[in-house]
Amino acid sequence: MLAKIGVVLAVPVILYAYSYGPLPGLAGVPGEFGDCTYCHSPGGGGSGSVKVTFPKGQTYTPGVQQHLVVTVADPQQQRWGFELTARHASDSTAQAGTFTPGSDGVTQLTCTQATFQTYSVGSCDSTMPLLYIEQTSAGTRFGQTGSATFSFDWTPPSTNVGNIVIYVAGNAANGDGSPGGDYIYTQKYTLTPQTQTNKPQIAVSNGVFNGAGYQTAICAGVWVTIKGTNLANSTRMWRSSDFVNGKLPTALDGVSVEINGKPAYLEYISPTQINVQAPSDTALGPVNVQVANNGSTSNSMTVQLQSVSPAFFPWPHNYAVATRPDYSYVGPANLFPGLTTAPAKPGDVIILWGTGFGPTKPSVSAGVIPKTVIPSGQIANLADSVSVLIGNAPATVFGAALSPDSAGLYQIAVQVPASTPDGDQPVVAHIAGLQSPSGVFINVQH
């Protein structure tokens, strides 16, 4: 988003809240410009409300990102806006944390100096320390009746600053293009600090393993699952806002992982499980794995780093994740409620999906989506040849490569042998002298 820079307070009339978002200072912070009743009338009254939903109640953990949702409601209105900020309870002029707009285009960041002489939208630095999150023009949702929601992330200060106050003003407008007939609702919340008291702990037995095949030996670029306790203070997947310059995140909500001293790439975090892509690494042999949770470091676990760690991702009942070339699902009927799955037939070409199959040509480093780093029209084929057995019979391999749209995900196209009998047939892959784990099946029916 290009920055929009303007001058504040030249004359009072410019404080009108345009559809592209209110100017700074209208969230209801004491000593600023109050709230949006400064511009809109009647402002007060009305039968609506504004509220903020916090994922863990009215608390915060220093440095741990929270996903907040603002809801502005009024049964009579049809256009919406808001402004929210966070301040130290002990000093309302001190900004508390930062905001990251959602990826849906309905929120934006705006900022100003303590003197409110100028402001900026979308690009803020230390010269403009007071931060606000508000709606965009698209976020007003003209014609939507009853209510509107706005979601975004807030990252508290990295240290305990005592209580924090969230100030929010919501605008429920009638949408006639003027400041008349609009109602303003305000709210403030006091959040108390929570400190992490328990050190993260990777499980001593099977705490680190291949995320598809569960073998304890891993390789560069493979998807890895880490089990334990107190590994994170929140539970979530990565979001588009976590990607920086197209690279996968190396930290989520203050959680990070190192494998052989190199940062891994986080897809999912929770108190008991973390999923990461192992970093690129030429080392082989025993390496250490550690989790850091907001400044507290776990025990170190040793795993074996190999050149490959091949495994097919499993569906329920240990059926291999498999599709046809048109991406329809291969599996016994009714494997998933509400989804169509059909067994493979002898002679069918199917695609098996896995991880840990090793280097490619051209080479693709861990932590990136392949199509973002290889020339258009090319694919990252496996550097080593791979063989596949289905029902203990060799399957013709038509191609094996990284999926262009997913980091660390390999797709292997094979033909089910014509001699394959009906029923659940084991499927294994061999590459670089190693075999994928047994106990994975393809369902076959003539």
How many C-beta atoms surround the C-beta of residue 276 within 10 A? Answer: 31
Q: Which domains does the chain have, with CATH numbers?
A: 4-193 (2.60.40.4060), 201-306 (2.60.40.10), 311-444 (2.60.40.10)
160-191: b or e for each residue (b if 16 or more CB lie within 10 Å)?
Answer: ebeebbbbbbbbbbebeeebeebbbbbbeeeb
| Block residue for tokens 């690129």 | 280
Backbone angles phi, psi at 33, to 5 degrees: -100, 15
pLDDT by position in tens, the chain (length 446): 234 444 444 333 333 334 567 889 999 999 998 776 667 767 677 899 999 999 888 999 888 889 999 999 999 999 999 999 999 999 999 999 999 999 899 999 999 998 888 888 888 888 999 999 999 999 999 999 999 999 999 999 988 899 999 999 999 999 887 778 899 999 999 999 986 667 899 999 999 999 999 999 999 999 999 999 999 989 999 998 899 888 999 999 999 999 999 999 999 999 999 999 999 999 999 999 999 998 889 999 999 999 999 999 999 999 999 999 999 999 999 999 999 999 999 999 999 999 999 999 999 999 999 999 998 889 999 999 999 999 999 999 999 999 999 999 999 999 999 999 999 999 999 999 999 999 999 999 99
Task: Please state, in angstroms and as integers, the Cα–Cα distance from residue 61 to each residue in 87, 170, 370, following that order.
Answer: 15, 26, 35
Site of tokens 């390999």:
410
Residue with tokens 């979308």: 122
- Which of 266, 315, 341 has its CA nearest to residue 65? 266
Residue 398 phi, psi dihedral angles, 5° rounding: -90, -25
pLDDT in tens, 33-90: 877 666 776 767 789 999 999 988 899 988 888 999 999 999 999 999 999 999 999 9
At residue 12, the pLDDT reads 35
Report how far apart the first and last C-alpha atoms of the chain are (Å, whole number): 55
Token couple for 220 = 């560069």
pLDDT value at residue 5: 45
Q: How far apart are CA 287 and CA 281, in angstroms?
A: 11
SS3 labels along 17-31:
CECCECCCCCECCCC
Give per-residue pLDDT as tens, 198-256: 789 999 999 999 999 999 999 999 999 999 999 998 999 999 889 988 899 999 999 99
Name the helix (H) or strand (E) containing 297.
strand 296-297
Using DSSP's 3-state secondary structure scheme, residue 184 falls into strand
Give DSSP secondary structure letters for 155-215. Answer: E--SS--S-EEEEEEEEEE--SSSSEEEEEEEEEEEEEE----S--EE-TTT-EEETTT--
β 59-60/180-193 pair status: parallel
Cβ(17)–Cβ(33) below 8 Å: no
Distance between CA atoms of 123 and 13, rounded to whole angstroms?
A: 25
Side-chain half-sphere exposure of 218, counting CA atoms within 13 A:
33
List residues bridging with 72 in a β-sheet: 50, 148
